[in-house]
Structure 1
Amino acid sequence: MENSSGRLVQPGTSASSTKLVGRAFEQDMKVIRSWLMDDEVSTIGIYGMGGVGKTTMLQHIRNELLERRDISHSVYWVNVPQGFKIEELQDLITKYLNLDLSSKDDDLSRVVKLAKELANKQKWILILDDLWNSFEPQEVGIPIPLKGSNLIMTTRSEMVCRQMNSRNNIKVDTLSDEESWTLFTEKLGHDKPLSPEVERIAVDVARECAGLPLGIVTLAESLKGVDDLHEWRITLKRLKESNFWHMEDQMFQILRLSYDCLDNSAQQCFVYCALFDEHHKIERGVLIESFIEEGIIKEINRQATLDKGHSILDRLENVNLLERIDGGSAIKMHDLLRDMAIQILDEYSLVMG
Structure 2
Amino acid sequence: MGNCVSLDVSCHHQTLNHACGCLFGDGNYIHMMEANLEALEKTIQELEERRDDLLRRVVIEEDKGLQRLAQVQGWFSRVQGVESQVNDLLDARSTQTKRLCLLGYCSNKCITSCDYGKKVLKKLKEVEGLLAKGVFHVVAEKSPVPKVEKKHIQTTVGLDSMVEKAWHSLMIGERRTLGLYGMGGVGKTTLLACINNRFLEVVNEFDVVIWVVVSKDLQNESIQDQILGRLSLDKEWKQETENERVSRIKNILNRKKFLLLLDDLWSEVDLNKIGVPPPTQENGSKLVLTTRSKEVCKDMEVDDMMEVVCLSPDEAWELFQQKVGENPIKSHHDFLPVARKIAEKCCGLPLALCVIGKAMACKETVQEWRHAIHVLNSSSHEFPGMEEKILSILKFSYDSLKDEKVKLCFLYCSLFPEDYEIGKEKLIKYWICEGFIDGYRNDDGADNQGYDIIGLLVHAHLLMDGVLTFTVKMHDVIREMALWIASKFGKQKETLCVRSGAQLRQIPKDISWELVRRISLMSNQIAEISCSCNCSNLSTLLLQNNKLVDISGEFFRFMPALVVLDLSRNSILSRLPEEISNLGSFQYLNLSYTAIKSLPDGLKEMKRLIDLNLEFTRELESIVGTATSLPKLQVLRLFCSRVCVDDIIMKELQLLEHLEILTATIEDAVILKNIQGVDRLASSIRGLCLSNMSAPVVILNTVVLGALQRLTIWNSKISEIKIDWESKERRDVICTSSPGFKQLSAVHIVRLEGPTDLTWLLFAENLRILSVSGPSSIEEIINREKGMSISTVHPDIVVPFEKLELLTARDLDELKSICCDPPALPNLRQFYFEGCPKLPKAATEYLRHAWKDVEGGF
Residue 223 of structure 1 corresponds to 360
Q: What is the aligned counterpart of 1:114 among 249, 260, 266? A: 249
Q: CA deviation at 1:284?
A: 3.2
Residue 469 of structure 2 corresponds to 328
Residue 276 of structure 1 corresponds to 416
Q: CA deviation at 1:38?
A: 5.5
Residue 347 of structure 2 corresponds to 210
In structure 2, C-alpha distance between the alignment counterparts of 1:248 and 1:82, rounded to whole Å: 15
Q: What is the aligned counterpart of 2:396 among 251, 257, 262? A: 257
- 2:356 is paired with a residue of what secondary structure? helix
Q: Could you tell which deviates more after superposition, 181-190 or 243-252?
A: 243-252
In structure 2, C-alpha distance between the alignment counterparts of 1:79 and 1:285, rounded to whole Å: 26
Q: CA deviation at 1:271?
A: 1.1
Q: What letter corresponds to residue 203 of structure 1 in structure 2?
A: R
Q: CA deviation at 1:35?
A: 5.1
| Alpha-carbon displacement from aligned partner over 1:123-170 (angstroms, at most 9, x marks no partner) | 543322111111331222111216454322101122222321211322
| Alpha-carbon displacement from aligned partner over 1:181-226 (angstroms, at most 9, x marks no partner) | 1111111012442422122111111111111111111001001031
Instruction: Give 1:192-207 correspondences, 5 Å limit.
Output: 192=328, 193-207=330-344
Q: What is the aligned counterpart of 2:224 among 90, 93, 100? A: 90
TM-score (norm 1): 0.83
Residue 307 of structure 2 corresponds to 171
Identical residues among aligned pairs (%): 33
In structure 2, C-alpha distance between the alignment counterparts of 1:76 and 1:330, rounded to whole Å: 26
Structure whose residues are more often helix by fraction: 1
Structure whose residues are more often strand by fraction: 2
In structure 2, C-alpha distance between the alignment counterparts of 1:108 and 1:174, rounded to whole Å: 41
The runs of 4+ residues in structure 1 deviating greater than 6 Å are: none
1:343 lines up with 2:480 in the alignment:
no
Residue 271 of structure 2 corresponds to 137
- 1:153 is paired with a residue of what secondary structure? strand
In structure 1, C-alpha distance between the alignment counterparts of 2:445 and 2:285, rounded to whole Å: 51
Residue 704 of structure 2 corresponds to none
In structure 2, C-alpha distance between the alignment counterparts of 1:94 and 1:309, rounded to whole Å: 38
Q: 1:140 to 1:39 in 2, by over 3 A?
A: farther
Q: Which has the larger radius of gyration?
A: 2
- 1:154 is paired with a residue of what secondary structure? strand
- 2:444 is paired with a residue of what secondary structure? helix
Residue 260 of structure 2 corresponds to 126
In structure 2, C-alpha distance between the alignment counterparts of 1:15 and 1:87, rounded to whole Å: 26
Residue 451 of structure 2 corresponds to 310
Q: 1:258 to 1:9 in 2, by over 3 A?
A: farther
- 2:452 is paired with a residue of what secondary structure? helix
Q: What is the aligned counterpart of 1:31 among 165, 180, 184? A: 165
Residue 431 of structure 2 corresponds to 291
- 2:252 is paired with a residue of what secondary structure? helix
In structure 1, C-alpha distance between the alignment counterparts of 2:388 and 2:472, rounded to whole Å: 25
In structure 2, C-alpha distance between the alignment counterparts of 1:320 and 1:63, rounded to whole Å: 25
Q: CA deviation at 1:9?
A: 7.8
- Structure 1: unaligned runs, 5 residues or longer: none
Q: CA deviation at 1:328?
A: 2.8
Does the CA-based 8 Å contact 2:147-2:208 persist in structure 1?
yes
Residue 112 of structure 2 corresponds to none
Q: 1:322 to 1:228 in 2, by over 3 A?
A: same
| Alpha-carbon displacement from aligned partner over 1:249-277 (angstroms, at most 9, x marks no partner) | 23212211111112233322211111011
Does the CA-based 8 Å contact 2:145-2:230 persist in structure 1?
no
In structure 1, C-alpha distance between the alignment counterparts of 2:151 and 2:161, rounded to whole Å: 24
In structure 2, C-alpha distance between the alignment counterparts of 1:9 and 1:279, rounded to whole Å: 22
- Structure 2: unaligned runs, 5 residues or longer: 1-143, 496-514, 516-858
Does the CA-based 8 Å contact 1:90-1:140 persist in structure 2?
yes
- 1:144 is paired with a residue of what secondary structure? coil
Q: What letter corresponds to residue 256 of structure 1 in structure 2?
A: K
TM-score (norm 2): 0.37
In structure 2, C-alpha distance between the alignment counterparts of 1:73 and 1:295, rounded to whole Å: 54
Q: What letter corresponds to residue 154 of structure 1 in structure 2?
A: T
In structure 2, C-alpha distance between the alignment counterparts of 1:6 and 1:294, rounded to whole Å: 47
Q: CA deviation at 1:111?
A: 2.1
Q: What letter corresponds to residue 90 of structure 1 in structure 2?
A: Q
| Alpha-carbon displacement from aligned partner over 1:58-101 (angstroms, at most 9, x marks no partner) | 23333454x54846754433222325443343234333344555
Q: What letter corresponds to residue 328 of structure 1 in structure 2?
A: T
Does the CA-based 8 Å contact 2:151-2:197 persist in structure 1?
no
User: Number of residue pairs matched?
Assistant: 341
In structure 2, C-alpha distance between the alignment counterparts of 1:306 and 1:280, rounded to whole Å: 21
Q: What letter corresponds to residue 230 of structure 1 in structure 2?
A: Q
Does the CA-based 8 Å contact 2:343-2:353 persist in structure 1?
yes
1:161 lines up with 2:297 in the alignment:
yes
Q: 1:60 to 1:311 in 2, by over 3 A?
A: farther
- 1:130 is paired with a residue of what secondary structure? strand
Q: 1:141 to 1:310 in 2, by over 3 A?
A: same
| Alpha-carbon displacement from aligned partner over 1:6-46 (angstroms, at most 9, x marks no partner) | 73888xx97332x3222xx2122113334555694432211
In structure 2, C-alpha distance between the alignment counterparts of 1:9 and 1:305, rounded to whole Å: 45
Q: 1:321 to 1:142 in 2, by over 3 A?
A: same
